[in-house]
Amino acid sequence: MNTLLEAETIEKRYRLGSGRVLQAVAGVSLRVGAGEALALVGESGCGKSTLGRALLGLTPIDAGAIRFEGQDIARLSARQMRPVRARMQMVFQDSYASLNPRRNAGEALAEPLRIHKRAGVTERVRELLDWVGLPQSALARYPHEFSGGQRQRLNIARAIALDPVLLVADEPVSALDVSVQAQIINLFRELQERLGLACVFISHDLAVVRQMADRIAVMYLGVIVEEGDGLAVMAAPAHPYTRALLDAVPRPDRPLPPPLIGDVPSPISPPPGCRFHTRCPIAQARCREEVPLLRDIGAGRRVACHFPLTNVL
Ligand SMILES: Nc1ncnc2c1ncn2[C@@H]1O[C@H](COP(=O)(O)OP(=O)(O)OP(=O)(O)O)[C@@H](O)[C@H]1O
C-alpha cells in the first residue's frame, strides 16, 4: 500500500504555568496508507487529539517529522502549507465546532470552495449534500436547525468539499445517540470506499472502532503500545492494555466487565519503565525498569510489551 502520511518519533510537550512540562505525545511513529482507515484508540487524556492535530500540522510539534505525500509538513511555511491543507481535513466531536451559527448549510459548504477558487460551486454544493445523504432542502437551514447526526453529515460534507485524500475524525460519533452513531460510521466507510479517502478515526470506544478500522493503533500515556490489523488485534490482543480495553466493552452475552483498575498516571510524571506497569495485571520487575520498545511480532503487528499475550508469528 502507498504511504500517504508518515509520522516519525514525534513529540509534543505542553508547558504548564508552573514551569512543569506535560508530554502529551512521547515519540510516536505511525504510517497511514492511501485509502486506509486507521483507528487511534485509548482512554481520555492519552494524547489522541493532540496526535491527530499534529498529523495535520494543526499543532506544532517539538520533535520528529511528519511527511505527507513525501513532504515534511512540519517545515512548510504557511503559504506552502495552503495547498496541502486542502488535501487533509479534520472532523470534530462537537458538530458545532467548525460551523458558523449565522451561516446556512449552503454557505458553509460554499465557503471552502470559494476560498480555494474552485469552479462550479453551486453544483458542487448540491453534489456534496448527496454524498452525505442530506436533502437539497438542507441548503437553507442553519446549524441549530439540524439534528446532531445531520449536523455531523454537514461537517463531513464540508470536510470532503476540496477532495481531500486524508480525513482525521476526532471522536466524530461520541456525542451522538447509538443508533445514529452506526449511520455516521457507515457514511465514513462508504465515503472512504467511494472516494478512496484515508481516514484516521480517533475514538475511546473500541466498539465503534471495530466497525471502522482496517488497522488499529492503541495509545497509552502518549505512546503507541500496540498496532496491527483491526480484526486480528480485536481477536487476539498482544498488549495487556489492549486486552483490558477490549474486556471493558459491554457485551450482551456476559455480565458487566471488570473496569480497568486505577487511574491513568499523570503525563507530567509518567511511570518509569513501561508506562502501563502501574495498572498491568501481569507486570514484573523488568516492566518497572526497562522501557519496552514497539517491536514487530509478525503479520504487521507491533507491540510495546516485554511479555506480549500473543505471538503472531
Ligand atoms: N493546550 C493544552 N495545554 C496543556 N495541556 C494540554 C493541552 N491540550 C491537551 N493537554 C493535555 O495533554 C494530554 C493529552 O490530551 P489529548 O486531548 O490529546 O488526549 P485525548 O486522548 O484526545 O483525550 P480526550 O479524549 O479527553 O480529548 C492530556 O493530559 C491533556 O490534559
CA dihedral 154, 157, 161, 167 (to 10 degrees): 110
Digits of tens for pLDDT over the chain (313 positions)? Answer: 799 999 999 999 999 988 899 999 999 999 999 999 999 999 989 999 999 999 999 999 999 999 999 899 988 888 888 889 999 999 998 888 889 999 999 999 999 999 999 999 999 999 999 999 999 999 999 999 999 999 999 999 999 999 999 999 999 999 999 889 999 999 999 999 999 999 999 999 888 888 888 999 999 999 999 999 999 999 999 999 999 998 887 777 766 666 677 788 999 999 999 999 999 989 999 999 999 999 999 889 999 999 999 765 5
Q: Which is the closest atom of ligand 1 to the Cα of 46?
A: 21
**Probe ligand 1: pick from 22, 92, 202, max atoms within 8 Å of CB?**
22
- Quote the cell numbers at residue 105: 448549510
Instruction: Count CB-CB contacts under 10 A for residue 120.
Output: 9
Q: Which is the closest atom of ligand 1 to the Cα of 14?
A: 4
Q: What is the pLDDT of residue 95?
A: 83
ipTM (interface predicted TM): 0.96
**Probe ligand 1: pick from 21, 50, 170, max atoms within 8 Å of CB?**
50
Q: Among 32, 26, 3, which residue's Cα sits nearest to residue 213?
A: 32
Q: Which is the closest atom of ligand 1 to the Cα of 267?
A: 29
Q: What is the pLDDT of residue 187?
A: 95
In terms of pTM, does the model score above 0.90? Answer: yes
Nearest CA to ligand 1 atom 6: 14
CA 267 to ligand 1 centroid distance, Å: 10
